[in-house]
Structure 1
Amino acid sequence: MARFPALLATLLCACYVRAVAVPSTPPSGAVSVDPSLVSVSIEFFAFPGYTNITGSNNCLANLATLRGAQPAIRIGGTTQDRATYDSSLQTSVNYTVASPADAPTTLTYGPSFFSLANGLKGDVTIGLNRQLNNQANSLSAGAQAKSSVSRLLALELGNEPDLYSSSSPIASGTGWSNSIDISNEANWFTALAPTLGNIFQGAVYLSWSTSTLISSIGSAGLATIKTISRHSYPQSACGGASTNLPSLMSHSGIVSYVSQYKAEATAAHNAGKKFFLGETNSATCGGGGISPTFGAALWIVDYVLQSALIGVDRLYFHHGTIGNCAYCWWGTSAVYSPYYGAAFVSEFLGTDGATLATLDSGTSAIATYAVYSSARAPLRLLVVNTNYFDGTGTRASTSVAFSGLSGSTKAAKRLTAPDATSRTDEGALVTIGGNGTFSSACVGQGTQAIESVAVSAGALTVSVLASEALIVYL
């Protein structure tokens, strides 16, 4: 059942046609895709609160259904380096804040924190405190994590140590630098590994290159590392910094931005380690005005796929303070626009998607992708039109002509909204398949419409509006 108004608008506003030949087998540059490519990071102190939100389980379950594997969860962030483990604490966390919108400056947590983590269905990474320089306390917490969390993948020791200073307790008054941190990570890892195992997530850097740690930590330290984590935020909303939605969602901009991580991913893989964007989202300090928008949903689609193409194994999208988190995908009683992008890219990759290929040069606003089966046959195509539309003027469209296909008709499904600035938390209608939405508890509702696309002489043409995306099922 086609979305006739939108399709009519597309036909009226079509600007030009792009020709794309679909390779019958994965082309050079195609990459394998981790089943948990789209994963979630949760701020340390806020984690217990997220387990009390009905939408948390449902949103994760939706993605698991679409991909056939649970999203991995990383529990960490700034407050992991403010946290002290208390084995006698009867509650999962204990802290005081002036306002519920605040993050605590200090907190304690107990054994039940890890019991909650054990309830997660995907791989679990937990961040422990290193900045306070209490190795015995972090070892005690790590031992509890290992004994309590059955799906424990890795432990982080410290969050973004590139932001530590000479006044941080870990610096011991002797200064702080990349080389000092690498030596410190090696010391902590090798000291704790006899008890906890070779289970550490190395680096956890926001600005320093993870390649330097891999090449400099030494064989003993490297042997204790299971995964490598880099943090990534394309923009900043800290200290009144200005964010820009057209720039965030630009396809050519995304291609350029993620290319910086290719060498780090390669270095990690050459060392036998998985490479994660272990904490990522649209902008630091919660994301400002751009993060809750439909444009951010389209950014997620394109950003996830481009990251996979340069070697990122998983992306952990960060979720912060409940009720004060512009880039979060869900809250206590709402599902936000960006989640639709996470769901849509998960549907594109599917339960059967084995390899991913890009079908464009990365120099324009139009992204085109193909996903292939384990038998090397094309399964689905994706078009993302990242041209920015803010709801004013004429909404242009682009037509993409795919060739090299068989059959007479193909099905298609559209991700759309009134414009790039559309926010579900402000009442805007973001949809998958014209009528598919999510309830406040993240339960799918509405019947998703399938569009029929004719194939003629092995080719089909689809039209995609500015700030819109479309999947074609082959």
Structure 2
Amino acid sequence: MYYIYVDPALLGVSLEFFAFPGYTQLSNTVQCLANIQSLRGTPPPVRIGGTTQDRATYNASEPLPARFTVSDPTQAPTTLTYGPSFFTLASQLPGNVTIGLNRQLNNEANTLSAAQQAVSAMPNLFAIELGNEPEFYASGSPIIPAGQSWSPTTDAASQQKWHQDLRNTIGKSIGQGAVYLQPPTWGTAELIPKIPNAISSIFSFSGHSYPQSACGGASTNLQTLQSHTGIISYTSQYKVEATAAHNAGKHYFLAETNSATCGGGGISPTFGAALWIMDYSLQAVLNGVERLYFHQGTIANCAYCWWGQNIVDGPYYGAAFLSQAIGTDGHSVAMLDSGTDSTVIYGIFSSSGLPLRVLIINTAFFNGTGTRSSVTVPLTNIQNTIPVTAQRLTAPAATSVVPTGGTSPITLAGRTFTPACTSSGTQVVENVSVISGSANVTVAASEALLVFIRP
């Protein structure tokens, strides 16, 4: 059995740069973050960045956190400015904060000025990114040197210089390098050998990752998303990237991830996405990822967001249930299933190696029609003197979604999250019968069960 340490701040959120001030104005943001903090004992980390960080220009005289104009509230701005109060808002977040700054426009003096303000205003500043997914910089981007093509080698030279200059300007190694979406061609393992003079200036490396795409009308598939074998296969790519970072003595994070690109499409607000988050996150851990930041984009147009205006969406239930599974005392995790079918079993262990809880996810797809199958999972070597209980995360179907302003069809131990992100309803705790140190628990298709085997 292979155990691996779980970071207390494993689950974080990535807030799109221009939308960040708007998220601070949502009444449920504070509560949703506080819920995760209560379950894990550590505030969830926040990354502020995304496509619009490379469209943003810092203005030390700007009174607003961010200034931009859009004709449609569902769209992101093509250009924006932001001021010192942007960092003041970020300083009020309870956890560690990573800030993504502009590199594409090639105004290094402006970016370094913003970095200085961030360091000055934010005691919770964790890292600074310089550019977002640079592999997608267009041919006319100012950062591309005249007469040169943009390639991993060209980008590496740029990253090396900018990270060195960042350290020299602010006096600390706080840069987060790579920030790529397309490994291995554009990846941490490819970048590190090309930037030997900047390694000491970098605090961490990160990648971005989305299993599916909803861009340009592309189709998405929920059954494929929540497939356990599919998740195992997809997350195996992280091992090379994480190993490269760790061998260089640096952290490795997924600084931006979610179910599907371009806002997520129809699969993303579903209960199936909640099941995916749990399995996906723990498989990422098993492959060396220390933290995952789930992206939240344009508030009025964000299928994969955990919460929004007057709603707490289905994926948040997965984040909450996983946070409860790991808890404040969970130190390490081990995969206990074969990895060859739809039954997912993870053991959560204390720092001394004692088994605490077992998380079971039945990823068999159920769309709400026909007979719902189930699986019975045997648990052995249980101490008979310890009462064993369980809590269930369930919904009518994998395709279930939470209606805006309405009651959630998804329940976590019989309870739901209100639009304000508070818990509502009577908690349902199931008693598990243990006979001679063994027990059997049943989990329906597209459902999860958390078994507490130690108080």
Common fold, TM-score beyond 0.5?
A: yes
Partner of 1:398, secondary structure, is strand
2:149 maps to 1:175: yes
1:69 corresponds to which of 42, 51, 55: 42
Percent identical pairs in the alignment equals 58
What is the rounded CA distance, in whole Å, between the counterparts of 1:214 and 1:469 in structure 2? Answer: 39
CA apart distance, 1:165: 2.9
- Determine the C-alpha separation between the residues in 1 that align with 2:285 and 2:424: 30
1:20-68 deviation line (CA, Å, top 9, x unaligned): xxxxxxx3x2100100100010000000000011111100000000000
Gaps in structure 1 of 5+ consecutive residues: 1-26
Give the distance between the partners of 1:69 and 1:411, measured in 2 at CA.
Answer: 25
| Equivalent position of 1:147 in the other structure | 120
Is the 1:165–1:175 contact (alpha carbons within 8 Å) kept by the matching residues of 2?
no
Paired AA for residue 417 in structure 1: A
Asked if 1:440 is matched to 2:419, the reply is yes
Q: Does 1:414 align with 2:389?
A: no
- Among 148, 158, 161, the alignment partner of 1:187 is 161
| Structure 2 counterparts to residues 206-217 of structure 1, below 5 A | 206-207=181-182, 208-217=186-195
Q: Given the alignment, which residue of 173, 177, 188 partners 1:202?
A: 177
Aligned twin of 2:331: 354
Partner of 1:111: 84
Q: Give 2:432's aligned residue.
A: 453
Mapped partners of 1:422, 1:445: distance in 2:
18
Structure 1 residue 41 corresponds to structure 2 residue 41 = no
* Match of residue 446 from structure 2: 467
Give 1:423's aligned amino acid. Answer: V
Partner of 1:259: 236
* Conserved 8 A contact 2:17-2:50: yes
Structure 1 position 59 matched with structure 2 position 32:
yes
Contact 2:59 2:81 in 1 (8 A): yes
Aligned length: 445
Give the residue type in structure 1 aligned to 2:402: T
Matched with 2:222 is 245
The code of the aligned residue for 1:410 comes to: V
Do 2:166 and 2:175's aligned partners in 1 also have CA atoms closer than 8 Å? Answer: no
For 1:14-413, what aligned pairs fall within 5 Å after superposition?
A: 27=1, 29-173=2-146, 174-196=148-170, 197-207=172-182, 208-218=186-196, 220-407=197-384, 409-413=387-391
Where 1:458 maps in the other structure, the secondary structure is coil
Q: CA deviation at 1:215?
A: 2.1
Q: Is the 8 A contact 2:104 2:141 kept in 1?
A: yes
The structural deviation recorded for 1:99 is 1.0
- Per-residue CA distance 1:273-295 (angstroms, 9 max, x = gap): 11101000000000100000000
Q: Does the aligned pair in 2 maintain the 1:370–1:380 contact within 8 Å?
A: yes
CA RMSD of aligned residues (A): 0.9
Determine if contact 1:230/1:276 at 8 Å carries over to the other structure: yes
Q: Does 1:429 align with 2:409?
A: yes
Moved more, 161-170 or 236-245: 161-170
Q: Which runs of 5+ in 2 are unaligned?
A: none
Q: Which amino acid aligns with 1:451?
A: E
Question: Matched residues in 2 for 1:175 and 1:167: separation?
Answer: 10
Q: Could you say which structure has the greater relative contact order, defined with CA pairs below 8 angstroms and 6 or more residues apart? A: 1
Q: Which amino acid letter does the alignment assign opposite residue 429 of structure 1?
A: P
Letter paired with 1:198? S
CA contact (8 A) 2:47 2:293 kept: yes
Amino acid at match of 1:421: T
> In structure 1, how many angstroms separate the alpha carbons of the residues matched to 2:300 and 2:410?
21
| Superposed CA offset, 1:418-459 (max 9, x none) | 00000012655100112x111111011112210001111211
CA contact (8 A) 2:49 2:99 kept: yes
Deviation of 1:172 (Å): 3.0
- Corresponding residue SS for 1:425: coil
Other structure's SS at 1:307 match: helix
Residues in 2 aligned to 1:445 and 1:323: alpha-carbon distance in whole angstroms: 25
Letter in 2 for 1:179: T
Contact 2:306 2:316 (8 Å CA) reproduced: yes
TM-score (norm 2): 0.97
Amino acid at match of 1:175: S
How big is the shift at 1:164? Answer: 1.2
CA drift at 1:90? 0.6
What per-residue deviation string (whole Å, max 9, x for no partner) do you get for residues 233-276 of structure 1?
00000001110000000011101100011111111111111110
Q: Letter of the 2:451 partner, please give it.
A: V
Distance 1:442 1:405 in 2: 35
Range with greater deviation from structure 2 (135-144 or 404-413):
404-413
Alpha-carbon offset, residue 376 of structure 1:
1.0
- Give a deviation string over 1:382-429, Cα, whole Å, max 9, x none: 110000000000000000001111116410000000000000126551
Secondary structure at 1:170's aligned position in 2? coil
Q: Report deviation, 1:323.
A: 1.5
Offset of residue 192 of structure 1: 2.1
